[in-house]
Amino acid sequence: MRLSVLVWVLAALTTGCAASSSTGAPPSESTTENVRRLGAILDYVAADYGGAVANGAIADQGEYAEQLAFLDDAHELLGQLPARDDAARWSTRVDDLRGQVQSFAPAEQVATTARALRKDLMAAQGVVVAPTSDPVFERGRSLYAANCASCHGAGGGGDGPVAPSLHPPPRSFLDTGTMDAMSPVRVFNALTDGLPGTAMPSFGQLSSSDRWNLAFFVFTWRQGPEVAAMGAAPFKQAGVAGNASALADVTDTELLERLRGAALADDDARAALAFARREAVYRRSGAPFDTARAALGAANAAYRGGDGGEARQLASSAYLDGVEPHEGALAAVDADMVHRLETEFLELREAIADGDPPDQVEQRVLRIGALLDQADRRMGGSGGTRVAILSAAVIVVREGFEAALLVLLLFAIARRSGAGAGEMRAIHLGWLAALGLGVVLWLASGAALQALGGASRELLEGGVSLIAAVVLLAVSHFVLARRDAQRRITALKARLGAASTSHVRRGLILASLSFVAVFREAFEVVLFLRAVMLDAAASSWAIGAGVAIGVIAVAALTALAGRIGQRLKPGVLLTAMGTLLCVLAVMLAGKGVRALQEAGTLSITPIRAPTVEWLGVFSTRQTLVAQVVVLVVFLSIATWPWLRARRHPSTGSAAVGS
């Protein structure tokens, strides 16, 4: 037992260094707004410095003075950051940028410095500026006509009726030099803050959604519908994310570079750019996580509207129906991303339940959106059929070998305890029944799993996990209730050689454990393989090839484990069995509670602790309490006969054989 606990502790400690931790709570509303404004200033300097300085000299004195004034504003905003955020470090970097401006550095150098500082600052502060829902083309067009056409013109050319009276004149959204360096985020910031020194006022009275609609709409003026239609196929071929949140902070120059980097010819790349700006951001791209994005946007809107219950339900649905079905394929290319998404979604749900400020909840939604964009890129470049084969093989090996180890353990218990053929047949009956039911589940799961909500899937998986843990506890005394190996073997043989009713009970226990252990893995295999087929649009033969590779690997690993096990001494083997049962039961308890948390059945109380997902260890109070309970039960079972013998020496031998 001491060795079992030691192995458990060492495993947790040695894998803890690889665990992912929460990114923490978003900043306050005032800090978020200050960081957004800082980002807007740095974005402005990056884009407009080239109009103030040319060839190492001032080209526009007024524009140059404005650049310096904006950097002064940046220092003031940095002074309002919380002390713990090390404003001095950021202030030094702003001073470095100011030094470049004052020395008339080349525009490309200033732009690179400003954009890098903006990116680092916003990442360090955990602030994301992006839409929480997809823009609507018609809404953007009507808002432009009502609010912008009088200055910028009905066609976006900067030639509206009042334009001649404005100094400086309004920007033209048809001008290549202007628009290539712009991003929707910069337009959103201009709409939010206005532009000092110009006639551009703040449109902060408009909702955030309407400002984003306008920000994306002005990028459509340069992109004709015919060219955009020609760009659909090249854009899809390039595999570039086309959703609004992914394109919000990307300039046309940067987007064109990405498209060319995907081996598109120049004409195709420009057509794909037109498609991205005029079409892609306004419709579902077919990306794996579109469903999650839509539910997140609805959750954010519901929370801002005061309906916390609806928001929490939508946030849970975003993960369970929009992310969880794709976990198998994503884990094959980026397992850490799966855990990060899971953690962020759980923290979002708890933030809603705790009544956090709407701006902080929105920042959590935006952070998740940024992760989903990364996940889409990872999935989009994951290789189609090859990834489907690899994913299927990885899933079968991971789940199948785990089940095989427990089945081996059960056979070893029966064999070394002198059990008859009935117990061996019971184990075979259990795992064969589980495999058969798994095949039936696979055949029936196509339509059924799509109709089944994510919460129901998690409830089922959580229930199976907890049942498996209970079954392990029910049979734990077969292995852990003896300190001495020989006495344990003698006791096992005595119990397995008891009356016929005991044979029936033992057979049922062994069969049920074999069934539950294998069926839990079979259920997950079916669920994840269906997800892989959906994500990669893979054919049945690709999934079949991956499964075949996985089955061969599991068979080889199982044969190796069985061969090694036969060479072990009884005491060592039983200790290893006890350790495996202990770890497996604790793992299943943690995963079962975690599944119920994800389904919204149990609450979540985060704590500072490492996460070791493969052992079912998560940094929440509920999962760890469940695992501690299992460990205490195992410890009690293991030490009870020894304590009983100490208290009643005369009945020690009876205690051993009981």
Beta bridge mates, 606: 620
Nearest to 94 by CA among 111, 114, 108, 79: 114
Predicted local confidence at residue 648, as pLDDT: 65
pLDDT over 50 (residue 573): no
Is the distance from CB of 648 to CB of 655 less than 8 angstroms?
yes
Q: Residue 620 carries which DSSP code?
A: B
Tokens 């054989």: give the residue. 657
Query: 530-544, pLDDT tens digit by residue?
Result: 655 654 445 567 778
- What is the C-alpha separation between 568 and 410, in angstroms, rounded? 16
Query: 279-290, pLDDT tens digit by residue?
Result: 988 876 666 788
Predicted local confidence at residue 23, as pLDDT: 52
Predicted local confidence at residue 190, as pLDDT: 93
- What is the C-alpha separation between 328 and 532, in angstroms, rounded? 7
- Helix (H, G, I), strand (E, B), or coil: what is residue 549? helix
Query: 382-422, pLDDT tens digit by residue?
Result: 445 666 677 678 778 767 877 787 677 667 766 766 666 77
pLDDT over 70 (residue 97): yes
**Burial (CB count <10 Å: 0-12, 13-18, 19+), residue 560:** exposed
Comparing 17-31, 129-143, 594-608, the range with the smallest average pLDDT is 17-31
Is the distance from CB of 371 to CB of 347 less than 8 angstroms?
no
Predicted local confidence at residue 159, as pLDDT: 94
Preceding amide of 82 cis, omega within 30: no
- What is the C-alpha separation between 495 and 503, in angstroms, rounded? 9
Between vectors from CA 655 to CA 652 and to CA 656, what angle results, nearest 5°?
90
Higher pLDDT, 273 or 556: 273
Higher pLDDT, 483 or 518: 518
Per domain, the residue ranges of the chain are 29-125, 137-282, 294-372, 383-657
- Averaged over 563-568, what is the pLDDT? 58
Confidence of residue 579 (pLDDT cuts 50, 70, 90): low
Query: 303-336, pLDDT tens digit by residue?
Result: 999 999 999 989 988 887 788 777 766 775 677 8
Confidence of residue 475 (pLDDT cuts 50, 70, 90): low
Is the distance from CB of 581 to CB of 478 less than 8 angstroms?
no
Higher pLDDT, 622 or 488: 622
Confidence of residue 480 (pLDDT cuts 50, 70, 90): very low
Q: Which residues contact 433 (CB under 8 A, 6 or more apart)?
A: 515
- What is the C-alpha separation between 608 and 612, in angstroms, rounded? 13
H/E element holding 635?
Answer: helix 621-647
pLDDT over 60 (residue 100): yes
Predicted local confidence at residue 4, as pLDDT: 38
Is the distance from CB of 604 to CB of 349 less than 8 angstroms?
yes
pLDDT over 80 (residue 151): yes
Is the distance from CB of 382 to CB of 332 less than 8 angstroms?
yes
For residue 409, what are its two tokens?
């353990």
Query: 589-631, pLDDT tens digit by residue?
Result: 887 787 777 666 777 777 777 777 666 788 788 889 998 998 8
pTM: 0.59
Strongest mean pLDDT among 87-91, 368-372, 648-652: 368-372
Average per-residue pLDDT in the chain?
78
How long a stretch of residues is the chain? 658
**Neighbour tally for 645: CB within 10 Å:** 17
